[in-house]
Structure formats: C-alpha cells, structure tokens
Amino acid sequence: MEALFGTDGIRGVANRYPITPEIALHVGRAVAAVLKTNSRSRIVIGKDGRISGDMLEAALAAGICSAGADVYLAGIIPTPAVAFLATAVRADAGIVVSASHNPYEDNGIKIFDSQGFKLNRETEQVIENRVLNSNGDFVPATDDQIGIIHSMPEARDWYTRFLKQSMQEADNLKDLHLVIDCSNGATSMIAPRVFSELRAGVTVLSDQPNGLNINANCGSQHIEPLQKAVVDAGADVGLAFDGDGDRLIAVDETGSPVTGDHILAICARHMEQAGVLKNNLVVSTVMSNVGLINALKQMGIRHMVTDVGDRYVLDRMRASDAVLGGEDSGHMIFLDHHSSGDGIMTAIRLLEAMHCAGQSLSSLRGIMDVFPQVLKNVRIRQKTDIYQFPEIAQVIERVENHLGDRGRVLVRYSGTQPLCRVMVEGPDPDETDRMCQDIVDVVSENLGE
C-alpha cells in the first residue's frame, strides 16, 4: 500500500483508498494506542461538514473506542477549534475529518497532539506503520475498558469565547462593517457569531453547508463573490475562510484581495511597533512573494523561509522562538495566541492592526509592492524527480536566466493532490504569464496525465 500521510495529514477522494472507513477505523485504533497516556484516555473529533464526514467520524470513533479510549464529538467545527479543544479538555489527541480547501468529493484526517500541535513526522510514521500492518499487534479493549462516545454541545461556545478573549479591547470592531464568506464550511456557525458579539456589523455569505457545497465557488479559493459584495455594500473589509477555517484571505474596501503575504506584512509591522514581535522575526515559505521579502527588509524585520506547508512554518517558528509565521495562501500562525493556523484568529489580528493604525485596509496593504505572480497547476500521472527530465530542467533554467534578479521560478509538487505547481514571479504580468505557460507546457508533455 502507498504511504498514508502527506504534508497535511491523510487526504484523498472519500470512500477510496486511503480515505475509507476501514482505514479510518485502523487510524482511530492506532492514534488511541500511540497517543494514549493513561487507562482512560480521551480523544476529540471534529469535522467540516462534507457529506462523507459522518462516515469517517463514525469509523474513527469505533476504532478509538475499541482501543479503550473515550471519544468526544465536537461536531462541525473549524480545524483550529479541535486543536484548542484538545488542550481545553486535556485530551490525548484531537482528530479533524476535513479536506480543507478541496472540493466536497475529497476528505481527510488531521491529527493534533495533547498540546494542540500537529503530529511530528516520527509519530505519524509510527501510526502509519500500525495502520498499514493492519494493527497486527493490536489488543482490543474488553469489558469496562471499551471506550465511550460523548457529545460536546458546548464545544462551539468554548471556542467562540477563546477567540473573543484574544481581542485586546472589546469595542475595537464596533464601527466596522464586515462581509464574511464562510465557504459553506466549518466556520459557518462560528465566524458570524464571533464578529457580531465583538460588535461589528456583519453581512454573511455562504454559511449554509449541505454536505455538497463546501468550497464551491466561495471562500478563500473563490473570492469574486466576496469582492462584489464588499463593494456593493460599501463594507470596510471582506473575510474569506476556507472549508475547515484554518485559512483567511481578506478583501479591502475597494474589492482588492489582501493575501497571506499582505497579512503577514501588516501584522508584522503592528506587532513590531507594539513590542510583541518576539525576536523581531517572521517565518514564511518559498511561495511568499518577493514583495514580502522586500517589505520585511525595509522594516528591519528578520525573515526565515521554509518549505511549503504549515507544519514546516510551525517547526521553524518553534525552533527559532518566533510568534508570527504563515503562507501566502492565508494560513497564518500567531503562536502567542494559538498552536494552530486559525482563519478567525487571523482576521481578529488583522482587524486589530487596522484599528491601532487608524487606517483603511487598502492603505495598509500598500505596505508591500506585489510582484506579478502566476501560479498554474498541471495534473500529473505520478510524482517523480522533476529534474530528471532534461526538457523541464532546460526550460526552467532558460526562464530563470531571463528573469535574473527581476523575479523567480518555483516548480514543485502539491503535498495533497496529484498536481505539479508552477509559479513564476516577474516584472510584467503578461510576460510572467507567458513564461509560466512555457514551463507548464513542457511539464505537461513530460509528466501530465
């Protein structure tokens, strides 16, 4: 069998390997066995509302109970809420059934430890080995040691309170009109409530999950409806979350997008000025725009770069004692507030920066000049070494030589989908698009389906 864990847990098409009830059952058993710390451990499970969530939740719960641990079902709730709840109820682990920003046909399994952090590679490998070996050494719980399933009707209240308490002053948002796009996902029952209770004026989009409409032409991956709604309503800010609520892309009052890189730059300056940017350091990935690098340099803020994936950002942050890091995709980590990337928390931090600066979001986004960036995906047959194909290596070298110090090229595989991502930054939008397409054509000829 193929490996289970990718860059963000286990993910794939629901009801096909590896996202099957059988695998979920074994994952539940393995998580309980590996992370169990006492004779009556507890594990929290949350989900994002897609149609296959109930099936996988039930299988995970059955596996956990059969291993002698209790299950606490948080229901439809954002991924970062499960990280929070794992610590709040002193659980041994938290599990999320979600495929994040992917379409409803997909699903996945993400796992947090007792401190609300995603598992390290070594622990994932131990769990994976147990699952792929069909738990051959598994000893089922018997008699009164069999686990019990509990519901957590209070989970959303606890998480809402946690988010609201992170706002320094309760009245900071009272004069703002927000448009919120919940992506028909896990933030639908949380985000409107949080910002309304923080006294902002709120207009809500895409907050009616039906199992099939998550991320469908809405949310952080499709901000066009939000842009129009912000302009039409004369709102101050638009907030777009992804399906499981760990990402945020914002829209300013003119309808212009405010990406993760913009948010990092805005929040970095705010935190530096407030004296809370620990070690004067920001961590981001190789996907960050050159404009962010330049902006941080101009502000005198240190910058570290990691591979793509929030786990790599978090690892570097913890190793370097940083409190701010993230990705251009909108996955931000404020480690002085939370152990996980959290879209609603990110929105609170961004709005707080606006309030303290006394400026509009369109003014604040001018903190960095964005280099034209084109990102295109190629669906591939399998993931093999890109540079073993001379034609691909040659076209990449040709574009890099042409750009020189006026841009850059990044060609990499997606960690969660069968895609090769081609990113080119350059001085001119049309020229950048042409160069990106040149690489895409060659990649498609050599690796495409």
Q: Is 89 helix (H, G, I), strand (E, B) or coil?
A: coil
User: d(Cα 313, Cα 163) in Å, to the nearest integer?
Assistant: 22
In SS3 terms, 344-398 reads as HHHHHHHHHHHHHHCCCHHHHHHHCCCCCEEEEEEEECCCCCHHHCHHHHHHHHH
Cα dist from 423 to 273, 388, 436, whole Å = 33, 19, 7
3-state secondary structure of 449: coil
Q: How far is CA 38 from the centre of its chain?
A: 31
Q: Is 24 helix (H, G, I), strand (E, B) or coil?
A: helix
Structure tokens at 93: 């682990």
Tokens at 68, concatenated: 């002698």
Could you tell me the two tokens for 433?
Answer: 């698009």
d(CA 79, CA 95): 9
Tell me the backbone φ, ψ of residue 199, rounded to 5 degrees: 75, 15
- Locate the DSSP E strands across 33-129: 42-47, 70-76, 93-97, 106-113
**10 CB contacts (<8 Å, ≥6 apart)?**
4, 18, 19, 23, 27, 108, 109
Q: Find, among 141, 139, 154, the residue nearest to 89 by Cα.
A: 154
Which residues does the annotation mark as catalytic?
100
CB atoms within 10 A of CB 154: 12
**Quick count: other Cβ atoms within 10 Å of Cβ 116?**
19
CB 123 within 8 A of CB 117: no
